[in-house]
A = this chain, B = another copy of it.
Amino acid sequence: MNKKRGKQTIVYATPPILAASAAIAGPMEGEGLLGGQFDRVLEDNLAGQDSWEKSESMMLEWTVRTAASRAGGTLQDIDCVLAGDLLNQLMSAHFAARGLGRPFLGLYGACSTMAESLLLGAVLIDGGYAAKVAAAVSSHHDAAERLYRFPTEQGVQRPPIAQWTVTGAGAVILAGEGNGPKITAATIGKIIDAGLKDPNAMGPAMTPAAADTLWQHLDDTGRTPDYYDIILTGDLGQVGKTLLLQLMQEKGVDIAANYEDCGLMIYREDQDPHAGASGCASSALVLCAHAFPLLVTGRLKRLLLIGTGSLHSPTSYQQKESIPAIAHAVAIET
């Protein structure tokens, strides 16, 4: 046994297939760079629900239902839903899963949760424990803002280094059989704490974790960055992206040629998101709405998605703790 295992990297013996995806976004995201690529754009952030949290939950449930139907089956064919979000007690995922009525595993990795759900979902498929699973996440700007920062009504001015939490949800159906891009490997990250304490500056706080996981992934697999058509981090933003290039350079790895951050692929600059997008839906929207079609049509052949999560809480911040961060990497190939 353990032949599937590198130091921190799983190499799937029978790579699970990404059978379908679905993505839904808020109105601001709909007017952004990926506007035409979402399956559905909300008219407003409430979407007819009576709270932002319920709107987020509705989005998550909708993407799982839509992706499950696209994968050529019904919801009943989904053996397990693996999902999470940014809200306390995973409110969005739990109420979505209540509506879905399928076996459920709740995950919390902050904005790294899409990668965590993909890597664990792929384990369930590759290991023969499930035939079809859904990996899904959501985030909602207003719900996150009032939970992590200030009441939205307060209109607090945001510093330039802050990022804008994405309103949206994305789901992927993983299957053991069929055609499509495949998850070939995944690297489980360690928690890295660079000692930073400003919760507005999550990009720089997460970057050392992204660098650690990327370096480990390359070392475990013996690959060089050019193995991938594109290396995507989840939501490091403008400051984090620049810092990751530097950190990798210091480790002797140049990723400048094929590295992008999902946090810079959601909003147009004139939408003023400050340092970029953040939230579980940052990497989920780029994967589900943008990269998945490129992989299916062969325009993208090898993608490394590095989900990045800032694991602080308002309580840990109030208790003057620094910000622990994590990054998980998932290799998707056609």
User: Is the pair A110, B127 in contact by a Cβ cutoff of 8 Å?
Assistant: no
The answer to whether A152 has its CB under 8 Å from any CB of chain B is no
Contact of A313 with B2 at beta-carbon distance under 8 Å, contacts A106-B108, A109-B105 already known: no
Complexed CA–CA distance, A131 and B312 (Å): 30
Residues of A244-275 contacting chain B, CB below 8 A:
none
The answer to whether A189 has its CB under 8 Å from any CB of chain B is yes
Binary contact track A1-19/B, C-beta < 8 Å → 1, others 0: 1111100101000100000
Stretch of A80-88, A162-170, A234-242 lying at the B interface? A80-88
Binary contact track A190-215/B, C-beta < 8 Å → 1, others 0: 11010000000000000000000000
Interface hub of A10, A110, A193, A312 (most chain B Cβ within 10 A)? A10
Interface hub of A5, A102, A129, A326 (most chain B Cβ within 10 A)? A129
User: Is the pair B176, A1 in contact by a Cβ cutoff of 8 Å?
Assistant: yes
User: Is the pair A191, B97 in contact by a Cβ cutoff of 8 Å?
Assistant: yes
Contact of A316 with B129 at beta-carbon distance under 8 Å, contacts A189-B103, A191-B104 already known: no
**Which residues on B sit within 8 Å (CB–CB) of A70?**
none
User: Is the pair A87, B313 in contact by a Cβ cutoff of 8 Å?
Assistant: yes
Q: Which residue of B lies closest to A101 (CB)?
A: B190
**Which residues on B sit within 8 Å (CB–CB) of A126?**
127
Stretch of A32-40, A49-57, A287-295 lying at the B interface? A49-57
User: Would you give the shortest CB distance from A23 to chain B, in whole angstroms?
Assistant: 23
**Which residues on B sit within 8 Å (CB–CB) of A315?**
53, 87-89, 91, 147
User: Is the pair A319, B53 in contact by a Cβ cutoff of 8 Å?
Assistant: yes
User: Is the pair B190, A131 in contact by a Cβ cutoff of 8 Å?
Assistant: no
The answer to whether A90 has its CB under 8 Å from any CB of chain B is yes
Complexed CA–CA distance, A284 and B101 (Å): 27
**Which residues on B sit within 8 Å (CB–CB) of A5?**
79, 128-131
Q: Which residue of B lies closest to A99 (CB)?
A: B191
User: Would you give the shortest CB distance from A74 to chain B, in whole angstroms?
Assistant: 15
The answer to whether A95 has its CB under 8 Å from any CB of chain B is yes
**Which residues on B sit within 8 Å (CB–CB) of A102?**
190
Complexed CA–CA distance, A4 and B79 (Å): 13
**Which residues on B sit within 8 Å (CB–CB) of A123?**
123-124, 127, 129
User: Would you give the shortest CB distance from A208 to chain B, in whole angstroms?
Assistant: 12
Q: Which residue of B lies closest to A125 (CB)?
A: B1
The answer to whether A107 has its CB under 8 Å from any CB of chain B is yes
User: Is the pair B109, A106 in contact by a Cβ cutoff of 8 Å?
Assistant: yes
Complexed CA–CA distance, A95 and B319 (Å): 12
The answer to whether A29 has its CB under 8 Å from any CB of chain B is no
User: Would you give the shortest CB distance from A249 to chain B, in whole angstroms?
Assistant: 24
Contact of A116 with B106 at beta-carbon distance under 8 Å, contacts A2-B130, A94-B311, A97-B191 already known: yes
Closest 10 CB pairs of A and B: A127-B127, A89-B313, A103-B188, A1-B128, A94-B311, A98-B324, A98-B191, A88-B88, A108-B108, A106-B108
On A, residues with C-beta under 8 Å from B are 1-5, 8, 10, 14, 50-51, 53-54, 79-80, 84, 87-91, 94-95, 97-98, 101-110, 116, 120, 123-124, 126-131, 147, 176, 188-191, 193, 311-316, 319, 321, 324, 326
